[in-house]
Structure 1
Amino acid sequence: MSLSNDPLLQPFRLKHLTLRNRLMSTAHEPAYSEDGMPTDRYRLYHVEKAKGGIALTMTAGSAVVSADSPPAFGNLHAYRDEIVPWLKRLADDCHEHGAAVMIQLTHLGRRTGWNKGDWLPVLAPSPIREPAHRAFPKEIEDWDVERIVSDYADAAARMQAAGLDGIEFEAYGHLMDQFWSPATNHRDDEFGGSLDNRMRFSTMVIEAVRKAVGPDFIVGIRMAADEDWEKGFSREEGVEIARRLAGSGGIDFLNVIRGHIDHDAALADVIPIQGMRSAPHLDFAGEVRETTKFPVFHAARIADIATARHAIATGRLDMVGMTRAHMADPHIARKVAAGEEARIRPCVGATYCLDRIYEGGEALCIHNAATGRETELSHEIGKAGHCRSAVVVGAGPAGLEAARVLAERGHRVIVLEATGEAGGQINLLVRNPRRKEMIGIVDWRLAELERLGVELRYGVYAEADDVLSLGPDLVVVATGGIAQAPELEAGEDLVTSSWDILAGTAKPAGPVLLFDDNGGHPGMSAAEVIAETGAELELVSPERFFAPEMGGMNHVPYAKLFAEKDVRVTINTRLKSVRREGNALVAVLGSDFSRDAVAERRVAQVVVEHGTMANADLYLALKPLSRNLGAVDYQALITRKPPLPVKQPDAGFDLVRIGDAVASRNIHAAIYDALRFCSLL
């Protein structure tokens, strides 16, 4: 296919606005705001996508229009006048690079908490609690409706004043569709009962907004057109709502989703994660477009260009949302246009980005550490002032990223890897079939290293002499870590590591007790592999809930499997010791909360997950020989200055240690280490 007739590169006319191609980033809240304002970090995140050739970047997910819709996940404050100059600068900068900018407006209704923001009561059409955010809402009153409708209109006028190209309303799980849905609207007044009545609030909002912004400003809606819920509105009723909105004269596009989001399991069906079907709602969105004969946008795990191209070429969509994909690579459109489609950094579906919003207060891509850090890191690696000879030891995610960045900087790079393949601990994770997409982290970097001419030497268990014989003036130690057991009173020699389960060197033999005090994917992946064999399994955690290092989205597939396989989950409990009795093992369990709470489990196998111990021998051997004696100036690193102090001027090389070779962390930390250090070297 020539670039000139690539469906994705064709412009799309929306009212008076011409979008330069069919790629968009749908509204989402990365939680980069400061006091509800889209300051520099927020702005540069969107500007990077504009630089990368995207046609439309949709900010906010969602910007709240009223003070009694307190931000649940870093939302922008569309009800404050101070937001206008911030958004104007964001819009102007994106426009300079050819991208259109819109914003999503909402009132969250019951989908927030009362103990946030100004501590105003949460409200909803009916006083029905949302499980996800746990607030008990008050029933919305007439004066609330009048006030909130006015707030929508005022917020829309602010967005128009900021120079944005348009707005969209949020209507899945938020106040608008809480009125639509029989699950959340039990009213018997003019806002309840018939579809006309349930749509009355959204109709009032649309009319008020149109009066405020005039007929030419673009106004759309992101809406559930099927709640896929026995208590909610049906597919037929949802499509009818879409048809009515399309014919109302107040709406210019429909951004369609399918499902409901009142708890984690339902949310994962709307925003599918790793191991779930690609583009599961694309055909449904196409049906809405066919029925309404109206512009339709859609996003739901459309992570690859082939699927996106298919969505446009077959007429299912007018604009295709690749939101998480643009977090992995904000330059997708530019690479497609340049014939470099194979160089697009893939979204691997890890959903670290979404889970980080709640767990860490900011969205981060698992393997693009520059995303969300555009104020300090560049997505395009600049050349160094002079070429250096660099040796990277270890070809896990940290080592591969270090080699890539150093090679982009113009350095001569050799990678030494002890095993016969690259990937490090990722090679263990992908032994869990549901997580096989993670290999994209490795494959993309290997392809980049081949392009850059980096030499990889496998089967080299490097010692100090092996490294020194190559005459480097920079050594990066990325040797990772090795599995370690928790400290036990007795029986450490009787336990099996989660690594052994994932690698297949130890077969699950039920009944199995798995003790996990690391709280992330390694232990849960081992539990999943064990449960899938049908072995009886008890998962024991000393935490208040299992796997606290994971967020709600990634919790879903594990919790689903545990329910289906009848896995016993025991919390607030610690493994104290293990002893052998005949052919069985006895696991002695205790509690951090009571010395007297002791129990025993008689099992065939005890599996443990306690993170990794740094594989630091090579680093320690090289440290006294290095120019910086292994030292790092952290203040310089943070402020983006050369971070390696000169301690021993006559030494021949600088030494850096990154990733799990420092301490047990995660994939993102390893890649961030590599990028932040090596982009300065």
Structure 2
Amino acid sequence: MKDDPLLRPYQLKHLAIRNRVLSTAHEPAYTEDGLPKERYRLYHSEKAKGGIGMTMIGGSSVVAPDSPPAFGNITLYKDEVVKWLSELADDVHEHGAAVMIQITHLGRRNNWNKTDWLPPIAPSHIKEATHRAYPKAMEDWDMDRVVAAYADAAERVKAAGLDGLEFECYGHLIDQFWSPATNKRQDEYGGSLENRMRFGMRVFEAVRDRVGPDFLIGARLSCDETFEGGFDEAEGHRIAMKLTESGLFDFLNVVRGHVDTHEGVSHMIPTMGHKSAPQLDHVAKIREATGMPTFHAARIQDVATARYAIESGKLDMVGMTRPHMADPHIVNKLAAGLEDQIRPCVGMGYCIDAIYAGQAVCIHNAATGREKSIPHVLKPAGRKKKVVVVGAGPGGLEAARVASERGHEVVVMEAAAQAGGQVLLTAALQRRKEILGIVDWRLEECERKGVEFRYNCFAETDDVTAENPDIVIVATGGIPSTAFLKSGEHLATTSWDILSGSVPTGKNILLYDDGGSHEGMTTAEFVASQGANLHYVTPERMVAPEIGGTNYPAYLKAFSDFGVQTTLNLKLESIAQSGNRLTATFYDEYGRTRKTFETDQVIVETGAAPFDDLYFELKPMSVNLGETDLDALVKYGTQTLSKNPDGGFQLFRIGDAVASRNIHAAILDAKRLLMHA
């Protein structure tokens, strides 16, 4: 492993970086009052413990009040930020990694109704599609104060002891000046590329003057906006060359694309279904042209691809940012020859989409962002116990993995012929097959720990009690529900029927989606791609409100490609037979009217009803009568309830066996219940 390209040290001017692996700047929304306090620090120090060479903090750390924190950003315009940055830097350094920060002014990529209700500013009065605010066109005094704000922020960063900083230069204020799509000025800051770069150069020069010649400075920039009206690859190369020739920069962190729309973001930060490392060759051209130390991250999810990026000379430091949310110990495992034990990033983009719901979490690592309460590596239990897990979906597999990691004897009973649960349904859509990594990794970990699996085993009470268990986890999941229908329930086809292949896809289909998430949209894309004439109907006021901005563009592209008809604001009430066709009746709550549609097949997606018969049969036999101590659960404590002296085991149910939720919820249930068991 000594010769592994990823483990080779890298010298960036005076900074010795222990290997070539980088976590690029991103904002997980772990700040408190705009400050990177304990949770933020522990999240990054875990990666340092895990062996990473360098971690970049503060995706889009903001330098001025009229660039308020849109998604939990670090507020570098506060003097008190220095204390928290310093603690974070000391912690990361203590574990052997380098740490830098990204600084920015968001410009028009924000809104006016945040924090101090100041209008966004930009080169010109042009709205950004994503944030929907019309910015104020900057005046001369705006430019002066923002330049000063950048310099002040950089001074705070240096005072805190970080190793360097990078400017965010795609989609934010500096790049908004560069792009002819957003810069329509008629003064010395608009028109020619030299003029469009004038404001940015003022910022860069002011920061360099403030921090001195030895402090490391880089730029994360797009060198091709990839849309009509923006700058193209040729002009992007010229921008990179001008930054290089200025002598102000020590490295470039290169990406490709634009982020002013969700469709743009979905390609800039590519998710499941995109090819691996789609921007790598473009970035290599910039490195070759400029000769600058070059960093890059965009769907480089696995060690083999990262290794190739370094060994081929395309990059100097390779970003594995989302992979480190899945497993912050990638480098340590690699160095120890345990590459096969690295928890894979499956590219769902749940981490970034979840930011706008409150905070970034990995779809299948419950410890990420919860380092204070949930350890990434568990300690052995004091006493070996017998654990029976019923159900081998994501929650059940996580329960088995965690219990076996603690040293317990584990038996898993699964009714189907293979593990995976609803994940197998998702994987029916070719574009989303990568999700199987959630299952495959857990199966491999369980096998390594000696977990016994019994497939085609529809567990009943006697099957469970015959094992003399200490703990029973009911992870039986849910089943599709059509009980909401007033009539015609027997005429409905469920999304599970279609994705499992148990019911063939019709020619003319009406799909009713009352879940608003991936389940319904996956089914819609699946049937549309099979050539069906699809009418998608939802009671929501928009399509798939539960799906985040990096994921829904792929579904809407499929809707466009296959001509899917969409109807909003209708609730399905009943289905009736009409000769050899079906009539679906809907209620329009707004117009207080009913509408009917005729079709060949009605597919229904309304979440999953808990499949909990076994749980209720076992409940009176358990020590805790099936009760979960919620206070202990949310405080990550030990479950100790004892309500039945005649009970023989602790009993818990998790995931969809409790209520219809998602993969992360099921995995978190399992981890919290069993990490102290």
Give the whole-Å Cα distance in 2 for the aligned partners of 1:600 and 1:389.
55
Tell whether 2:613 aligns with 1:617.
yes
- Is contact 2:620–2:647 with CA below 8 Å preserved after alignment? no
- AA matched with 2:308: H
Tell whether 2:599 aligns with 1:598.
no
Give the whole-Å Cα distance in 1 for the aligned partners of 2:23 and 2:604.
41
Give the whole-Å Cα distance in 1 for the aligned partners of 2:419 and 2:506.
30
Give the whole-Å Cα distance in 1 for the aligned partners of 2:294 and 2:646.
65
Give the whole-Å Cα distance in 2 for the aligned partners of 1:641 and 1:226.
50
- AA matched with 2:672: R
Give the whole-Å Cα distance in 1 for the aligned partners of 2:650 and 2:132.
52
- Percent of aligned pairs with the same amino acid: 58
Tell whether 2:649 aligns with 1:653.
yes
Tell whether 2:677 aligns with 1:678.
no
Give the whole-Å Cα distance in 2 for the aligned partners of 1:4 and 1:214.
36
Offset, 1:29? 0.5
What SS does the aligned partner of 1:330 have? coil
Q: Which residue of 1 aligns with 2:413?
A: 416
Tell whether 2:627 aligns with 1:627.
no
Give the whole-Å Cα distance in 2 for the aligned partners of 1:623 and 1:582.
47
Offset, 1:248? 1.0
- Is contact 2:621–2:646 with CA below 8 Å preserved after alignment? no
What SS does the aligned partner of 2:510 have? strand
Tell whether 2:310 aligns with 1:309.
no
* Residue segments in structure 2 that go unaligned for 5+ positions in a row: none
Offset, 1:117? 1.4
Tell whether 2:471 aligns with 1:474.
yes
| CA offset digits 1:78-128 (Å, max 9, x no partner) | 110011100110110000000111000000000000111110011110111
Q: Which residue of 2 aligns with 1:529?
A: 526
Tell whether 2:152 aligns with 1:140.
no
Q: In the TM superposition, what are the counterparts of 1:161-200 in structure 2 within 5 Å?
A: 161-200=159-198
| CA offset digits 1:425-481 (Å, max 9, x no partner) | 111110111110010000000110111111111111110101111111111111111
Q: Which residue of 1 aligns with 2:441?
A: 444
Give the whole-Å Cα distance in 2 for the aligned partners of 1:433 and 1:612.
23
What SS does the aligned partner of 1:74 have? coil
- AA matched with 1:308: A
What SS does the aligned partner of 1:156 have? helix
- AA matched with 2:196: R
Offset, 1:592? 2.1
Q: Which residue of 2 aligns with 1:50?
A: 48
Give the whole-Å Cα distance in 2 for the aligned partners of 1:504 and 1:450.
29
- AA matched with 1:590: Y
Give the whole-Å Cα distance in 2 for the aligned partners of 1:641 and 1:377.
10
* Residue segments in structure 1 that go unaligned for 5+ positions in a row: none
What SS does the aligned partner of 2:673 have? helix
Distance 1:210 1:547, change over 3 A: same
What SS does the aligned partner of 1:247 have? helix
Q: In the TM superposition, what are the counterparts of 1:3-82 in structure 2 within 5 Å?
A: 3-82=1-80
- Is contact 1:9–1:22 with CA below 8 Å preserved after alignment? yes
Q: What TM-score do the two structures reach when normalised by structure 1?
A: 0.99
Q: Which residue of 1 aligns with 2:515?
A: 518
Q: In the TM superposition, what are the counterparts of 1:311-350 in structure 2 within 5 Å?
A: 311-350=309-348
Give the whole-Å Cα distance in 2 for the aligned partners of 1:422 and 1:135.
47
Offset, 1:649? 2.4
Q: CA RMSD in A?
A: 0.8
- Is contact 1:369–1:675 with CA below 8 Å preserved after alignment? yes
Offset, 1:381? 1.1
Offset, 1:644? 3.8
Tell whether 2:94 aligns with 1:96.
yes
What SS does the aligned partner of 1:59 have? strand
Q: In the TM superposition, what are the counterparts of 1:143-542 in structure 2 within 5 Å?
A: 143-358=141-356, 360-485=357-482, 487-542=484-539
| CA offset digits 1:192-245 (Å, max 9, x no partner) | 111111111111011100111000000100001111122011101111110111
1:574 alignment partner, one of 571, 596, 601? 571
Q: In the TM superposition, what are the counterparts of 1:104-119 in structure 2 within 5 Å?
A: 104-119=102-117
Give the whole-Å Cα distance in 2 for the aligned partners of 1:539 and 1:60.
40
| CA offset digits 1:380-415 (Å, max 9, x no partner) | 011112111111111110111000000111111111
Give the whole-Å Cα distance in 2 for the aligned partners of 1:71 and 1:141.
22
Give the whole-Å Cα distance in 2 for the aligned partners of 1:575 and 1:474.
42
- AA matched with 1:205: V
Offset, 1:643? 2.1
- AA matched with 1:260: H
What SS does the aligned partner of 2:60 have? strand
- AA matched with 1:428: L
Distance 1:618 1:486, change over 3 A: closer
- Is contact 2:588–2:595 with CA below 8 Å preserved after alignment? no
Offset, 1:419? 1.1
- Is contact 1:486–1:610 with CA below 8 Å preserved after alignment? no
Give the whole-Å Cα distance in 2 for the aligned partners of 1:185 and 1:203.
16
- AA matched with 1:503: S
- Is contact 1:632–1:644 with CA below 8 Å preserved after alignment? no
The number of aligned residues is: 677
Distance 1:565 1:486, change over 3 A: farther
- Is contact 1:515–1:606 with CA below 8 Å preserved after alignment? yes
Q: Which residue of 1 aligns with 2:120?
A: 122
Offset, 1:486? 5.2
